[in-house]
Structure 1
């Protein structure tokens, strides 16, 4: 049997193909088209037979197609024959979409036939766009986190010096100036903390919660915040899985999203907040390729407002990008939401159409009841700042200004001090046999030993020495990056004098 000419075999092959397959003559007239072709381009069975292949092309390409074919037939030049290229196709409804086209030629009984295989690239383009957006935000997040960390060091110096001035007998006029300066420095610290949330380096305090209960708690505040012209509808599933999130950050995220939606509906409108479990699998991955498969609780916040442009959607989560600069927008709201969700192990999606509204999807991984949800630690702090009794504190800090200030702050609390510029120098000092009660060390330092490495050596070789670590980064981030564990408490920069005093006293 000559299988190359068996019409039944050819029909079976074409019908089995997932990609579109078209057979056309030398004039571009379609002789055969498999069912996948009709499905891809929106035509019914047999509708394409007898039509020119130009009908499947955008106008610019369609007008050139006949010229390309004539040139090939006259010269034999195989510009596209036997190779593939990316082109655009046009569906019956006029929409244009990306394709990969492979063209082959067959000479059968003196008749020239062209076979085209067309693969839809829409999903691949979506995947590339999602990946590019994620990579761009990751790069911006790394830069933002580094800048915020450096600013935290500067703010630590500013706040610390102001507090020392305040504690050393400033008069009433000076105290007023110091209080104003401290308040401004605290605002700066708040800004860097928001930037760190975007960079996924914020200091989250996650607990195991039911997302429906947390949203219900936020609804009363939301209704007061957005005003009477807006209606909030809820659609909560009867049962949902538990998730591990920071309730305060969730409430902040909901408020940010609600205020954004309100601004998109200046004449009033409707919000919908829905919560349900969802399983992310291969079918769902076709649309959202940046999310890890698994079981999630999905929180949808939708509005029927003006919608967002494609450019606004592309840059929505970037810090300082805002479409409301004339109304005081900072461009940090959605950036914080993005960072909070991603740092919580989740994923965020954005869908919007101009004139129809916007919908944000927040996906949080479900935590099994048998998993360790962590323990909440409650402590009662005394109102007075606790002081030391001449205990020796070794201050380990590579930044000279921060080290100088830290020494001053520790001495002001009644301790004696030693200093080291990095973990290696601190370890040498410990080995020398000098008496040290507490090592107060930064986490990220040059040299062989970072803060966690130094703490581990102290735990093993000098068990009587206590350790307090500090960093401008959040402990959950530096733990994974530096190979540490959660056995060591971390004092986050910038900190107040009272925070330092309480931490040192707790170690003793």
Structure 2
């Protein structure tokens, strides 16, 4: 009786654990795995049980693992037991993820059994990387501000002396040389002013404005300069809160972003400028955007150009970093935008996919009637939000950090989840006979199937599966070259917790 009770308690413990738990024998063969391990590695229990734990490791670690096990059993040295360390794991799709591994051992029926607990460090690593990037930009900003200030003093002396020479009756030849020197000095002064904006030490003149009006004024300039090969679309909300910003700097920032978008579309294309209020009021959305909860007016500038590689995205806001040096790029445009937004009390986000385009989001604190923020996401998971009753949602997302957030969100709403890192993997999973009620897929993914392709196949072959698509772009500016038909409504990232809950309920209660 006690044995049955202990077995039931162990099963309940493993099922309840948020971290992966694996029980293996002395040879490293898995005897039991919990549901969290299935979700983490993408394998089913039936596949894992009976296999070596080496299948969950990159090859380099797997080659060493058996030797570590044998050494521990022979000598009793505890290199890992009871200590814990950071390692790498390997999912079924071959992707590698960071983990914290804790290992314990026990004697069961005269044989050694190992218990491994694995905690996914993907979100922590992403947060650390974002913090390091922010700290690097702040450090560069402090250095840049100091250098720019000193250069301004030097240039003030240079310009002043040149003007004195000019006023004292220089001859025609000397005047030409002085004019050239003054022009160069003024260019240097303009450069330092731009650097001070990045360093958030420039002088702003904020006033209460409507972002839509500022965007319309800037577009009047843009349409005359970018050329006929480029289409500018706008999507302005009917009602938008006022913000307190410098109009000149905002228009300069918008023009910088639009010209960047033009350069990413050498053969022509389209970009979209949208303005709308947005409330960030749950911990998931704040974590996804790295933005403090609050009420904002969001300006999106999206293009359907070449997109940016990961390294360019990481360094996009650093001064003097440019991918267009051969075309005269200075690397100061985005640095200025970043500095202006941050000095205005706002935030900036960047979303880009190679071959599909780029979207910048500028978030400015809204000036509006005092409103009480809703409580965090955990407190919203009450009876006021529509909940699932165990239906299965297949989450398809190639970004591991966003995929993990989506899994947490949807599980907290009372659904079960399966997940895949690409449209191809999701389609293969459905082909195994896995039961799925809702497909929740990103639009842009690696592999042969994008979100629309996957949705079309699922609708044709699995008509009982409901479909919800999501995108990090401000609008469907990229969907023309993805085979879009317009029959799906897109849930745009970042989305609120309540929006996700309502969309899922609406799908499941809709009549096909």
Query: Secondary structure of the residue that 1:287 maps to in structure 2?
Result: helix
Determine the structure 1 residue equivalent to 2:284.
Answer: 283
What are the superposed Cα offsets for residues 15-42 of structure 1, whole Å, 9 maximum, x if unpaired?
2211111112222222222221112222
Paired residue for 1:320? 320
Bigger radius of gyration = 1
Report 1:303-382 matches (<5 A).
Answer: 303-368=303-368
For 2:214, what is the secondary structure of its paired residue?
helix
| 1:219 and 2:219 aligned | yes
Q: Does structure 1 residue 24 correspond to structure 2 residue 24?
A: yes
CA-CA distance at 1:174 after TM superposition: 5.7
Say if 1:269 and 1:304, in contact at 8 Å, map to a contact too.
yes
**Does the aligned pair in 2 maintain the 1:127–1:288 contact within 8 Å?**
no
> Within 5 A, what are the aligned runs for 1:88-103?
88-103=88-103
- Residue 110 of structure 1 corresponds to 110
Q: Structure 1 23/147 Cα, relative in aligned 2: closer, same or farther at 3 Å?
A: same
- State the 1:366 CA deviation: 1.6
Comparing 13-22 and 304-313, the one that deviates more? 304-313
Q: 1:373-410, CA deviations, whole angstroms, 9 ceiling, x for partnerless residues?
A: xxxxxxxxxxxxxxxxxxxxxxxxxxxxxxxxxxxxxx
* 142 and 39 in structure 1: CA distance in 2 versus 1, 3 angstrom threshold: same
Q: Which runs of 5+ in 1 are unaligned?
A: 372-508
Contact map agreement 1:123 1:286 (CA 8 A) in 2:
no
- Per the alignment, residue 120 of structure 1 pairs with 120
CA positional deviation for 1:231: 2.2
Q: What residue in structure 2 maps to residue 84 of structure 1?
A: 84
TM-score by length of 1: 0.68
| Structure 2 CA distance for partners of 1:4 and 1:76, relative to 1, 3 Å | farther
CA contact (8 A) 1:20 1:33 kept: yes
Change in CA separation of 1:335 and 1:112 when aligned onto 2, cut-off 3 Å: same
1:90 and 1:96 in contact (8 A); partners too: yes
Q: TM-score, normalised by structure 2?
A: 0.67
| Cα deviation code 1:50-76 (max 9, x no counterpart) | 332222212222232222222222222
The whole-number CA distance in structure 2 between the counterparts of 1:239 and 1:107 is: 68
Determine the structure 2 residue equivalent to 1:470. Answer: none
**TM-superposed deviation, 1:46:** 4.4
Q: Partners of 1:213 and 1:370 in 2: how far apart?
A: 24
Task: Please give the secondary structure, in 2, of the residue aligned with 1:234.
Answer: strand
CA distance in 2, matches of 1:80, 1:370: 54
Contact 1:212 1:275 in 2 (8 A): yes
**Which range is displaced more, 105-114 or 179-188?**
179-188
**Partners of 2:45 and 2:232 in 1: CA distance:** 46
CA offset at residue 368 of structure 1?
2.7
Secondary structure of 2:103's match?
strand
Q: Could you tell me how far apart the structure 2 residues matched to 1:5 and 1:15 are?
A: 15
Report the CA distance shift for 1:112/1:192 in structure 2 as closer, same or farther (over 3 A). same
SS at match of 2:48: coil
In the other structure, the counterpart of 1:230 is 230
Partner in structure 2 of residue 133 of structure 1: 133
Q: 1:240 to 1:104 in 2, by over 3 A?
A: farther
C-alpha deviation, 1:138, in angstroms: 1.0
Cα deviation, residue 348, structure 1 = 1.5
1:199 equivalent in structure 2: 199
The range that moved more, 153-162 or 11-20, is 153-162
Greater CA drift, 68-77 or 142-151: 68-77
Give the equivalent residue in structure 2 for 1:239. Answer: 239
Distance 2:278 2:115 in 1: 42
1:123–1:287 CA contact under 8 A, matched in 2: no
For residues 89 and 2 of structure 2, the distance between their equivalents in structure 1, rounded to whole angstroms, comes to 35
Gaps of 5+ in 2: 372-512
**SS of 1:286's equivalent?**
helix
Tell me the CA shift for residue 119 of structure 1: 0.9
Q: 1:288 to 1:4 in 2, by over 3 A?
A: farther
Residues 1:158 and 2:148 aligned together: no
**In 2, are the aligned partners of 1:104 and 1:115 still within 8 Å (CA)?**
yes
**Alignment partners' CA distance in 1, 2:343 and 2:71:** 57
| Residue-pair matches, total | 370
Partner of 1:144: 144
**Structure 2 counterparts to residues 254-273 of structure 1, below 5 A:** 254-273=254-273
Tell me the equivalent position of 1:68.
Answer: 68
User: How far apart, CA to CA, are the structure 2 residues paired with 1:203 and 1:4?
Assistant: 73
CA distance in 2, matches of 1:299, 1:110: 66
